[in-house]
Amino acid sequence: MVTAAAAAVELGISLRNDVEIHLSSGRDEGGGSVRQAIKQIITNVPGVTLVEDGWSSWERFRQTVRHMHLLLSPSYTESFCMVVADGIVEGVAAVVSDAVDWAPHDWQANADDVGAIARAGRRLLRDHQAVNDGQAALVKYVKHGSHAWENYLAGKAQH
């Protein structure tokens, strides 16, 4: 999250746009130091605001995501990433790491490289087909998973 926040700051500066960094809050689970690091990154950076969104219902979360221009989710361990899937459904592209291997390749950036995340973000913001690519990748992933599950169940039923 800290790398994503730094990339968001870089995007805002390079594009000369205000930036809102949304951070889920209310269930820290050890995330207090992350919040503090992000606050330090944005301190005295004009046009950058940290918005701490409390945990909310899925419907409310999707309403929040719907109003974003880009998601940054360069996770080290995320295998699916429901946030990115929700973003795609709401028409928002995302920069992810290679851990989210189902996402389009050009959405992926090194999770440790602020510059790479920001560059991927700039590309996605300019690419009017990016969300369509994400939707196609998500549909393909779900179809593949459903097919694998059906095969598994069919194999179990025969034993």
C-alpha dist (Å) from residue 157 to 20, 48, 138, 153: 51, 56, 28, 6
- Is residue 118's pLDDT more than 80? yes
Confidence of residue 89 (pLDDT cuts 50, 70, 90): very high
Q: How crowded is residue 93: how many other Cβ atoms within 10 Å of its Cβ?
A: 29
Confidence grade of residue 31 (pLDDT, cut at 50, 70, 90): low
Q: The domain spanning residue 62 has which CATH number?
A: 3.40.50.2000
Domain that holds residue 90: 2-158
Residue 159 has pLDDT above 60, yes or no: no
Residue 26's pLDDT band (cuts 50, 70, 90):
low
Q: What average pLDDT does range 88-104 have in this prediction? A: 96
- The percentage of the chain sitting over the pLDDT mark of 70, rounded to a whole number, equals 94
In whole angstroms, what is the distance from residue 44 CA to residue 110 CA?
A: 27
Tally of domains within the chain: 1
Return the C-alpha torsion angle 110, 135, 102, 85, nearest 10. Answer: 80
